[in-house]
Chains A and B, each alone.
Chain A
Amino acid sequence: MRYSGFRVIKEALTGHKGWTPAWRDPEPASQYDIVIVGGGGHGLATAHYLAKEFGQARVAVIEKGWIGGGNVGRNTTIIRSNYLLDANEPFYEFSLKLWEGLEQDINYNAMVSQRGILNLIHSDGQRDAFTRRGNAMILNGADADMLSTADIKKRYPFLNTDDARFPIKGGLAQHRGGTVRHDAVAWGYARSADSRGVDIIQNCEVTGFRIESGVCKGVETTRGFIGAGKVGCAVAGNSSRLMSLANMRLPIESHVLQAFVSEGLKPVLPGVITFGAGHFYCSQSDKGGLVFGGDIDGYNSYAQRGNLPAVEDVCEGAMAIFPMLGRARLLRMWGGIMDMSMDGSPIIDKTHIDGLYFNGGWCYGGFKATPASGFAFAHLLAKDAPHPTATAYRFDRFEKGLMIDEKGMGNQPNLH
């Protein structure tokens, strides 16, 4: 079924009887060409691109719970491609370009809204670093713009520039950055993949990999064995747990990142803004809620919830730059499990086991990567070769000393 304004009107006039399920609820087949483990944003995107771009139809996505229940539905919905390193920037720029055409590609309005993202600058050293970054973005074909404090004040008149502990000295903007309705990304990719023949199998948990003579033949699940020519894992947050079933240890730790939303408010924030001297970033959803977050709590956790110190730290950051937010109320806080990798960058690679592929280590940057991650993973699965924008996301980069460390924090995952 094709979604359109005409369809909405027609259904409204005929009692909404024609709407059909957005995706089927099939029984798993005994064998697929490719099985994707993980019905989150990345897994579903992988399935969509496998079907649409790489002609793979015998594909299944298996999900232990409900699709979109992990980080794709728990993030703060920001998209951007403002990376420093050449190993990252082309990939995220590819992703941003895919976002720009997403709705037409999947016939689903995920509300891609290029409202712009602004990283505030508070020191000369930070300006130097952001200048280098902005140049790297432009040299990689992305957009970047250095704004003065006056420019920023025009967009955010209530920003604290009078009495700030860390005065605002400008900001690096990417006007093509923005936000996307996160759940809709999962649903849109799922619907599109399903319509192209992909089986989306919910409530099906992987309990093991069937590995024979070093070759992965499929997955054992709570709904029985599912055979596969290739198995691709995209379960960020739970990567270590899943891959331990194949006796793999990963350069990844699981950490909790909390996110917050305020009560609905009339529009005040035009775009995404990040504080450069504390842990706070914020945007306002189309519904009016301020969606904001900060740093990870900092300790390994699978609990999907955090603690007060991180909450207070984020709200202190909020009040530092927006003292007018004091009377806005925080409505809900929640936690997601982040795959914090050892250099802050992801992995999209084959494993040492034939037929077993891995996608993870997204730290807290996975959402914006969803389209490119899906595309690149589909490319790897279909062609056994990395996508040109994802060639550096290898397992062996740590052993070889080829880390992709945007922040320069080294092998300490909670600092990335």
Chain B
Amino acid sequence: MIQKNRIEGGQIDRSATFKFTFDGKRYEGHAGDTLASALLANGVRLMGRSFKYHRPRGPLTAGSEEPNALVHLRVGARQEPNTRATTAELFHGLVATSQNRVGSLSFDLLAVNDRLSNFLTAGFYYKTFMWPKAFWERVYEPIIRRAAGLGALSLEDDPDVYDKGYLHCDLLVIGAGPAGLMAALTAARNGADVILADEDFRMGGRLNAETFAIDDASGADWATATVAELATLPNVRLMPRTTVIGAFDHGTYGAVERVSDHIATPLEGKPRQILWRIYTQKTVLAAGAIERPIAFNNNDRPGIMTASALRTYANRFGVAVGHRTAIFTNNDDGHRTAADLHAKGIKVIVIDPRPEAPRAMDYEVLAGAQVTDTMGRLGLTFAQVRLADGTERTIECGALGVSGGWNPNVHMTCHQRGRPVWNGELAAFVPAILPAGMTVAGAAMGDLSTAGALTGGARAARAALGLKGREAKMPIAEDAPVNITPFWYVEGASRAWLDQQNDVTVKDVKLSHQEGFRSVEHLKRYTTLGMATDQGKTSNMGGLAIMAELAGKTIPEVGTTMFRPPYTPVAIGALAGRHRGQDFHPKRLTPSHAWAQEQGAVFVEVGNWMRAQWFPRAGETTWRESVDREVLATRGSVGVCDVTTLGKIDVQGADAADFLNKIYCNGFAKLNVGKVRYGLMLREDGIAMDDGTAARLAEDHFVVTTTTANALPVYRHMEFVRQCLVPDMDVQLISTTEAWAQYAVAGPNARRVLEQIVDQDIGNDTFPFMACAEITVCGGLRARLFRISFSGELAYEIAVPTAYGDALIRRIMEAGAEFDITPYGTEALGVMRMEKGHAAGNELNGTTTAANLGMGRMVSTTKDSIGAVLSRREGLNKPDDLRAVGLKPVNPADKTPAGAHLMAATGPVDAAHDQGYVTSACYSPSLGHHIALAFLKDGDNRMGETMRLVSPLMGVDVAVEICSPHFVDPEGERLRA
């Protein structure tokens, strides 16, 4: 393989040759190459197609601001769309393919769009495709969608892992060019903890791409030596391949480290990338500057790029993009490119619109001239130049470097909505209002000379850290002034590209102005200028300048550039880290989990807990069989269920009872020690928040239970009341949900089971319904026993310290063996509570009042409690308000599904005639038919009424009878037995 455009020099390692393919063709490059530099070395300029017109494109830049050279990198599940060839580090075996084409890259059928470009101007789609009405979605839009988009996803799960990490430092330095290196060095030598992050794989910034010296070494060598010194310092963390993506609040920066992108696949155990959250006291932003192009007709052909990119390819990568090269520049820096290329033996000609263009060397300079057009179907062949005297000249060239000046890279300074200000001398925006703690140095601040960058970096670090004392001596470096005459586009140009990726031309900006879209935001949105994957880093200024000219205003009067995080696009996988698949959320396991697994339980997620849903037995083919069995076995003998997940809050202190009186709408002050009471909590807006029980273990000690889902919100609420509303009460709270393993033992034989375990007498007289006590079990283990029942059976909840939870469930099962004790899961639990008419989450849905739940009388009027006052509002006490009722099907075979709505037996079925809805429903094995709990308007007064239950969504329409929600044992005899 011949790298026909490879020239001497550069910082590539010629001893390491990497083979790679692009669109199936084999090439070779070297270590230290990017994909773009390696392709250019092989004479490949065409690397992509533009978004709209599918114009052939090559790289415009040599960095992360690249709009054109976007490729699919890698294949299969690791294929990454839209990867910038200009930053993709070459590795052995790299496979890249071109994207956004129909056919081959050199013959893209969609290039027909380019022929139609006169019809496809800015915003044309807003004006057409409206007739016939149905055609937009059926015809036009599908065509547009297929043609749009850039790269393609593999549609396979990303096989790589991503990590997240946290770093802290005194000073974060963003960018390792001369300013950043000097800032880091200054801070590090003064003992500060420093992080130096740079997006490039080689630190040094522009120094790697320039030929001038610092002291008596080359800039690149000085950078290498400085990085080496920094690497020896224990207080410095060097982070190459790390892009700082955003400046967030209070000194928090996001950064993405590309750990494995420069190799074919991540090493064993290594992530692909790491998202770092960097917490820093101070930041020096030394992000450099970005060269901007000039717009002229057909300025987008492969081979046309920024002048500094040409210089980078030559100086850093040893690549001559074209052996005949033209430079079109309005400033002296463009001449630097010419000089560097000339020194490497490349034939150079400079076109400079300034009449006083400098002439330093023995290459041709066309002062006062402009490039008016270019030729070359898939790559530049000729440039058309209008000379100062108005005559035309055609120049043969394979590369054309364009320089319209440099824009300080203000991106990160805008992340907290700071806007840059105009600097006329530089003809560019420079940072003004900065995120707190940030200073800007070097080219990013507008100090475009090397000496300025070095001094600026050192001073920024000193200022950031408040260093006193004498400044260290700066190395000697070039200090050329900026010499620029603003020049944005060639007069008469129309098909002159500003935003190359999105195909926004000068003509589009003019049209935008003509149609009244004149503010920056309107321009951007109407033409899509700057909306591409480069966020307009190379295009925004040109658009602004043209709009300013059309509006007869100055550029800053028209507006400023504005950037948003991230600095460069970030893999979504990196932002998600390890939170995917089963690890998306943590799992909470109950103390009986291992035991339940042994029983073959099916688990269900409830508030991050994994709870046993049912325990299938051999021969059972449907979940219903298991659940029905569990219910009947519990009601018939005894069952056991892990209820650890219910929130438990210990309330202690002399004022504990008064505190609960405040929290619950019903009274607790008079609850006797050794007793449990059901309690209903309201939010301050008078709506039911949660229900549960409070057990008084001592005068100054209660245990409050909450529903599983509300354990945290209720605890937070109780702490709010304690700390903020009753701060003088003597009461303390602690959440003990995870500290106690708790089991419900329910059924007529429950007492007989527990009597074998509990050390005390729990006969019905000594330990009646709603009793509670601190007891011991199994001969001395401390425990808590509550005689409460959710199932409606004789039931207890027994709690032991979590460490004994596994032992206790096994002991209960042993003790219950003679009664054929049956473990039951959340489904059976739910069925039994519905049979008993207890409210749960489906009823306490955040919109129901105590009255809706049939507990209106519980809201005490003799004391103040949270929510009492607002619960009395008229809208919450309407005469025909919803009331909790039970439903049973008129035809016992019918189902009564949750989510169905209630309608009168006759009359219309629509929202206006809606009478209520089913909250919970199940098949009741105890009754042999389906039952449901529902909210029904004026439900208390409609017992026995036959109604229509409709679920048009599921095609259900059945007759139901309204009944009491207490389907089983309405008198409560069983639970008191």
A–B proximity contact (CB within 8 A): yes
Among B150, B151, B248, B535, the residue within 8 A (CB) of A308 is B248
List the A side residues contacting B382 at CB < 8 Å. Answer: none
List the B side residues contacting A187 at CB < 8 Å. Answer: 126, 526
The answer for the CA separation of A19 and B122 in the assembled complex, in Å, is 12
Give min CB distance, B386 to chain A, whole Å. 22
Does the CB pair B137–A113 fall under 8 Å?
yes
Which residues 117-158 in B have Cβ within 8 Å of A in the complex? 118-119, 121, 124-131, 133, 136-137, 141, 144-146, 148-158
List the B side residues contacting A277 at CB < 8 Å. Answer: 585
List the A side residues contacting B570 at CB < 8 Å. Answer: 329-330
Residue of A nearest to B919 (CB): A128
Does the CB pair B572–A401 fall under 8 Å?
no
Given contacts A112-B136, A128-B898, A262-B572, contact A90 B565 (CB under 8 A): no
Does the CB pair B118–A12 fall under 8 Å?
yes
Give min CB distance, A131 to chain B, whole Å. 3
Annotate B156-182 by CB proximity to A: 1 below 8 A, 0 otherwise: 111010101000000000000000000
Among B156, B249, B605, the residue within 8 A (CB) of A166 is B605
Q: Does B560 contact A (CB under 8 A)?
A: no
Residue of A nearest to B277 (CB): A308
* A-B contact sample (8 more), CB < 8 A, given A69-B521, A410-B687: A111-B141, A114-B137, A127-B898, A139-B909, A166-B605, A305-B416, A327-B573, A402-B875
Q: Does A408 contact B (CB under 8 A)?
A: yes
List the B side residues contacting A366 at CB < 8 Å. Answer: none
Q: Does B400 contact A (CB under 8 A)?
A: no
Given contacts A4-B127, A16-B511, A334-B564, contact A323 B919 (CB under 8 A): no
5 interchain pairs, CB-CB under 8 A: A139-B952, A164-B581, A323-B580, A331-B533, A410-B846
Annotate B580-594 by CB proximity to A: 1 below 8 A, 0 otherwise: 111111010000000
Residue of B nearest to A316 (CB): B579
Does the CB pair B152–A265 fall under 8 Å?
yes
Q: Does A197 contact B (CB under 8 A)?
A: no
Given contacts A131-B953, A266-B153, A410-B687, contact A326 B519 (CB under 8 A): no
Q: Does B78 contact A (CB under 8 A)?
A: yes
Does the CB pair A307–B252 fall under 8 Å?
yes
Does the CB pair B125–A111 fall under 8 Å?
yes
Annotate B672-704 by CB proximity to A: 1 below 8 A, 0 otherwise: 000000000001111101000000000000000
Does the CB pair B583–A132 fall under 8 Å?
no
| Max chain A C-beta neighbours (<10 A), residue from B156, B532, B875 | B875
The answer for the CA separation of A326 and B160 in the assembled complex, in Å, is 8
Does the CB pair B577–A323 fall under 8 Å?
no
Q: Does A409 contact B (CB under 8 A)?
A: yes
List the A side residues contacting B842 at CB < 8 Å. Answer: 125, 128-129
Does the CB pair A107–B130 fall under 8 Å?
yes
List the B side residues contacting A349 at CB < 8 Å. Answer: none
List the B side residues contacting A312 at CB < 8 Å. Answer: 164, 275, 575-577, 579
List the B side residues contacting A331 at CB < 8 Å. Answer: 533, 535, 566, 569
Given contacts A8-B124, A304-B417, contact A403 B685 (CB under 8 A): yes
Among B525, B526, B576, B582, the residue within 8 A (CB) of A319 is B576
Residue of A nearest to B519 (CB): A66
Does the CB pair A324–B153 fall under 8 Å?
yes
List the A side residues contacting B818 at CB < 8 Å. Answer: none
Q: Does B965 contact A (CB under 8 A)?
A: no
Among A141, A165, A287, A327, the residue within 8 A (CB) of B153 is A327
Which residues 440-495 in B have Cβ within 8 Å of A in the complex? none
List the B side residues contacting A69 at CB < 8 Å. Answer: 519, 521
Which residues 325-354 in B have Cβ within 8 Å of A in the complex? none
Among A16, A113, A135, A263, the residue within 8 A (CB) of B151 is A263
Does the CB pair A19–B511 fall under 8 Å?
yes
Q: Does B874 contact A (CB under 8 A)?
A: yes
Residue of A nearest to B78 (CB): A327
List the B side residues contacting A316 at CB < 8 Å. Answer: 575-577, 579-580, 584
The answer for the CA separation of A304 and B419 in the assembled complex, in Å, is 14
The answer for the CA separation of A307 and B249 in the assembled complex, in Å, is 7
The answer for the CA separation of A108 and B127 in the assembled complex, in Å, is 6
Annotate B891-924 by CB proximity to A: 1 below 8 A, 0 otherwise: 0000001111100000001110010011111000
The answer for the CA separation of A122 and B605 in the assembled complex, in Å, is 9
Given contacts A111-B136, A329-B82, A409-B846, contact A183 B150 (CB under 8 A): no
Of A20-28, A215-223, A356-364, A377-385, the stretch lying at the interface with chain B is A20-28
The answer for the CA separation of A134 and B248 in the assembled complex, in Å, is 40
Q: Does A226 contact B (CB under 8 A)?
A: no
Q: Does A163 contact B (CB under 8 A)?
A: yes
Does the CB pair A125–B841 fall under 8 Å?
yes
Does the CB pair A8–B584 fall under 8 Å?
no
Give min CB distance, B191 to chain A, whole Å. 29
Does the CB pair B521–A66 fall under 8 Å?
yes
Does the CB pair B686–A401 fall under 8 Å?
yes
| Chain A residues near B (Cβ < 8 Å) | 3-5, 7-9, 12-13, 16, 19-23, 25, 65-66, 68-69, 73, 86, 89-90, 103-104, 107-114, 122-123, 125, 127-136, 138-141, 144-146, 157-158, 160, 163-166, 181, 183-184, 187-188, 202, 262-268, 277-278, 286-288, 303-305, 307-308, 311-312, 315-316, 318-320, 323-334, 397, 399-403, 405, 407-411
Does the CB pair A25–B516 fall under 8 Å?
yes
Given contacts A12-B121, A265-B149, contact A325 B417 (CB under 8 A): no
Q: Does B640 contact A (CB under 8 A)?
A: no
Given contacts A305-B415, A329-B571, A333-B564, contact A134 B953 (CB under 8 A): yes
Does the CB pair B144–A264 fall under 8 Å?
no
Does the CB pair A332–B149 fall under 8 Å?
no
The answer for the CA separation of A279 and B92 in the assembled complex, in Å, is 40
The answer for the CA separation of A202 and B683 in the assembled complex, in Å, is 44
Does the CB pair B158–A326 fall under 8 Å?
yes
Among A127, A144, A287, A315, the residue within 8 A (CB) of B576 is A315
Q: Does B211 contact A (CB under 8 A)?
A: no
Give min CB distance, B804 to chain A, whole Å. 29
List the B side residues contacting A163 at CB < 8 Å. Answer: 581-582
The answer for the CA separation of A363 and B654 in the assembled complex, in Å, is 43
Residue of B nearest to A397 (CB): B875
Given contacts A139-B914, A263-B533, A326-B158, contact A183 B525 (CB under 8 A): yes
Given contacts A132-B901, A132-B917, A315-B572, contact A104 B130 (CB under 8 A): yes
List the A side residues contacting B121 at CB < 8 Å. Answer: 12, 16
Give min CB distance, B576 to chain A, whole Å. 4
List the A side residues contacting B876 at CB < 8 Å. Answer: 401
The answer for the CA separation of A129 and B79 in the assembled complex, in Å, is 40
The answer for the CA separation of A278 and B605 in the assembled complex, in Å, is 14
Residue of A nearest to B133 (CB): A104
List the A side residues contacting B575 at CB < 8 Å. Answer: 311-312, 315-316, 330
Does the CB pair A130–B899 fall under 8 Å?
yes
The answer for the CA separation of A166 and B162 in the assembled complex, in Å, is 21
